[in-house]
Homo-oligomer: A and B are copies of this chain.
Amino acid sequence: MAAILTERRQFILKLVVQEFIETAIPVASETLVRKYKLRVSSATVRNELAALEDLGYLTQLHISAGRIPTDAGYRFFVENLMDRAPLSPAEQRTIRHQFYQVRSELDQWIHLAATVLARTAQNASVVTPPRSYQSRFKHLELIAIHDTTVLLVLVLHDGTVKQQTLTLDTARSQEDLRRYSARINERCADISTSQIEELVMRDQQREHPEFSDLEQQVLEVILRAMRQFEDQINEEIHSDGLIEMLSQPEFIPALIKAEDAERAVERMRCALEILTSGRGLSLLIPQALASEGVQVVIGGEHSEDEMREYSVVLSRYGVNGAVAGVLGIIGPTRMSYPRSISTVRYIASVMSDLLRELYGVEKRSLDQD
């Protein structure tokens, strides 16, 4: 039996993957014939299944169990076999409506995106906030709290707000602070970290520096905050829907009798670890940020070993040349790839449209596929 991937074998592979994604039960030859009304006998299907196993697309947990897809099987399914599964118009409407309701609260967007992703795909979600690839100074505000303590509020070009406290050598009035911030705001309007650096440097070398000691102190804090920001850019991962993921049969011992219940507990702990530590994800974010379209990483394809049982579906979102972030789904390798991909694609497009609106670029169509 030569191991050739015939048309029929591809069809059977597709059925096996779909069936397993749906039921989480290893699929048997008999089941396929019955459920999909195949015109051949179960014995024939068995031969084909054996061939698909030889080809590395299927495997079985033990000799008298049905087949489950390997990572390669899922991969082939995603690339070649999968049917598109666009969100229903009703779902699209609901989602758009939810985003419409919080459109003016910038910091709610990520929360909402994470929640909606998780609920729609029934798995955990990850979202990074929209950031410009290079932070530019937008605005500074100095607010006297008391005596020598000052609250410094820094607004960056992409809308990020950062707050710090600052202790001065001598007390200054709010009026003084206003003057300082006004000058810095004027000098630094819309310039990048490195340009501020240069500005400070040049000024210090003059005989009569333009900036006072206090202003230099403030600029130093700003620079540090901005640099810190650029370093952190990929690490700020917001996540939601752990519960949704843990409601998948993989984590419910009663539904997955084939194994020890302790495995399920261990798996839950591992999932929690992945989502809170961010290891294994932080590697994928920059990659997704640099790519177009939806990225899928399946099980063993991950570089991190603890991700071996999980797949990730990611997409970039944002406005070209202005800001960009990443959002996606993480779940067991047996996740519904069609649905996850559609969900990620749709929500990325909604977020992008919102951002385009905010940044004044013309709106694209929201309707999917």
List residues of chain A with CB under 8 Å of any chain B CB. 103-107, 138-139, 141, 143, 145-147, 149, 151, 153, 155, 159, 161, 163-167, 221, 242-243, 246, 251-254, 260-262, 264-265, 268-269, 272-273, 276, 358-360
Contact = CB atoms under 8 A, between A and B. Distances in A.
24 contacts: A104-B164, A104-B165, A104-B221, A105-B164, A105-B165, A139-B141, A139-B143, A141-B141, A145-B159, A145-B358, A145-B360, A146-B359, A151-B155, A153-B153, A161-B161, A242-B272, A242-B276, A243-B269, A243-B273, A243-B276, A252-B265, A253-B261, A261-B261, A265-B268
A2 to B, nearest CB: 45
How many chain copies?
2
A361 to B, nearest CB: 9
A131 to B, nearest CB: 15
Nearest to A108: B164
A129 to B, nearest CB: 12
A224 B67 CA distance: 58
Given A261-B262, A272-B246, A360 B149 contact: yes
Nearest to A268: B268
A139 to B, nearest CB: 5
B261 A165 contact: no
A165 B103 contact: yes
Contacts of A262: 253-254, 261
Given A145-B358, A251-B265, 6 more contacts: A103-B165, A145-B360, A153-B155, A153-B161, A242-B272, A246-B272
Contacts of A276: 242-243
Given A261-B265, A268-B268, A107 B163 contact: yes
Nearest to A253: B262
A144 to B, nearest CB: 10
Contacts of A159: 145, 151, 163
B261 A246 contact: no
Query: Nearest 9 pairs between A and B by C-beta?
Result: A261-B261, A146-B360, A104-B165, A253-B262, A104-B164, A139-B143, A161-B163, A141-B141, A147-B360
Contacts of A141: 139, 141, 153, 155
A105 B221 CA distance: 11
Contacts of A161: 153, 161, 163
